[in-house]
Structure 1
Amino acid sequence: MAAGSLLAFWAVAFLLIVVPGADWAFTIGAGLRGRSVYPAVGGLVAGYAVITLVVAAGVGTLVAGSPAVLTGLTLVGGLYLVWHGVTTFARPAAPTSPASPADGPDGTGWGTFLRGIGVSGLNPKGLLIFLALLPQFTDPRAAWPVAGQIGALGLAFMVTCALFYLCLGTLTRTVLHARPTLARHVSRLSGAAMAGVGAWLLIDHFVS
C-alpha cells in the first residue's frame, strides 16, 4: 500500500468524521455531563477498532453478504441509537463542576465508555462504510497482506477520530460550561439528532 493511498484514505475519512452525526451527538452530551471526554472518545474509538478487526478478519464480507445478519444488525443498531437519543433528549446534559463525581448518567466513566462502543460499534452504517471504503485503498500486490493494510487504514481512521472528538468534547465543555441553559438546549438537539440518525437507519433499510 503506497503512502499516497494512505493519505487519500485519511482525507476521505476526515471528511466523514467532521460531518455531524451520532458520534457528534454522543461526544457533545458526554462533554457536558462528565469531568473528562476521554471515556466517551475512548469508547467510540474502541467501537471502530472492533469494526476494523471484523473487516480485517474477513468476517465483514460474510456479514455484508448475509441479508439476515445485516437486517438484524440494522435493527439493533438503529434501535440503540433511537433509545440513546430519546434518553438524552428527555434528560438533557448540564455542565458539571470539576469536583462533580458524575461522568455520565450512571455516574461512571466506564459506563460512558461502554455506551461509546455501542454508538460506533453498533452503527450498521459504520460497518458498511468500512466494508465499502477500506478495500478500495488496499493493494493485493503489496508486500504486506491486505488484512495488515486494512488494520493500518483503520488505525489512521481511529487516530483521526480520537483527535477530532477530543477537541470537540473539550470545546463543548469550554464554551457551554458557563451557559447551562444553552447547554441543555444543545444536549436536547444532540439527542434528537442521534434519535433521528437511528430512525433514518431503520427507515432507509426497511422501506428501501
Structure 2
Amino acid sequence: MNLHTLLAFWTISILLVATPVADWAYVISAGIRDHAAVVPAVFGLFLGYIAITGTVAGGIGALVAGMPLAVTLLTFAGAAYLIKLGISLLRHPPLPKEGHERETSARRWITKGFAISGLNPKALLFFLALLPQFTNPGSSLPIFLQIAILGCVHTINCVSIYLMVGFGG
C-alpha cells in the first residue's frame, strides 16, 4: 500500500462519511439532548466500526457476505434496532420538557452507538466492497493488515466528522 492509494481511500471515505446517514441522526440527537452525550455516542459508533474492521480484516466478513441468509438477518437486525431507536425518539423527544430532565448514562450512549454502527449491514458491505479494492497483494504488508489500516482510517474519519456534527447539533 502506498501513500497515493491511502490518500485516494481517505478522500472517498471522507466523502462517504460527510453524507448524512443514521450515524448523523444519532450524534445530532446526542448533541441536541446534551453536549456531554456526544463523546460517548461517537465512542460507541467508533467501537462498532472497529468491530466491523476486525471482522472484515479477519476474513469473517467475506464468509458472512457469502451467506445471503446471514446478510439478510443482519439487515433485519439493524433495521429493527433503528426502528426501535426511532420509536424511542418519538416517545422521548431529544429536548426534555421543563422540569423533566432525563439523564442518560454514557454507557447507554456507547451501547446504542455500537449497535447502530456494528449492526449496520451497509457498513459491513461498504467495508467488504471497498477496502479490498485499495489493497495491494504485492505489498510488504499482509492483506489483513492493509484492510485493518484502511478500516482505521475510515473510523478516524467517522469520529472526526461525527464529533463536529454532534457538537454542532
TM-score bucket (shorter structure): over 0.9
Aligned to 1:119: 116
Aligned to 2:71: 70
Aligned to 2:142: 145
Aligned to 1:110: 107
Runs of 4+ in 1 over 6 A off after TM superposition: none
Cα distance in 2 for residues equivalent to 1:17 and 1:89: 26
Over the aligned positions, Cα root-mean-square deviation in angstroms equals 1.5
TM-score by length of 2: 0.93
1:42-121 alignment runs, 5 A limit: 42-94=43-95, 102=103, 107-121=104-118
1:42 shift after superposition: 0.3
Across the two proteins, how many residue pairs are aligned to each other?
A: 165
Q: Which moved more, 1:28-37 or 1:48-57?
A: 28-37
Q: Which runs of 5+ in 1 are unaligned?
A: 173-208
Cα distance in 2 for residues equivalent to 1:10 and 1:88: 33
TM-score by length of 1: 0.76
Percent identity between the two aligned chains = 44
Aligned to 2:29: 29
**Pair 1:101–1:71, CA change in 2 (3 A):** closer
Aligned to 1:177: none
Cα distance in 1 for residues equivalent to 2:46 and 2:4: 24
1:89 shift after superposition: 2.6
1:86 shift after superposition: 2.1
1:159 shift after superposition: 0.9
Residues 40, 113 of structure 1: 8 Å contact kept: yes
Residues 74, 121 of structure 2: 8 Å contact kept: yes
Residue 163 of structure 1 is aligned with which of 155, 160, 164? 160
Residues 43, 112 of structure 1: 8 Å contact kept: yes
Q: Which runs of 5+ in 2 are unaligned?
A: none
Task: Return the letter of the residue paired with 1:25.
Answer: A
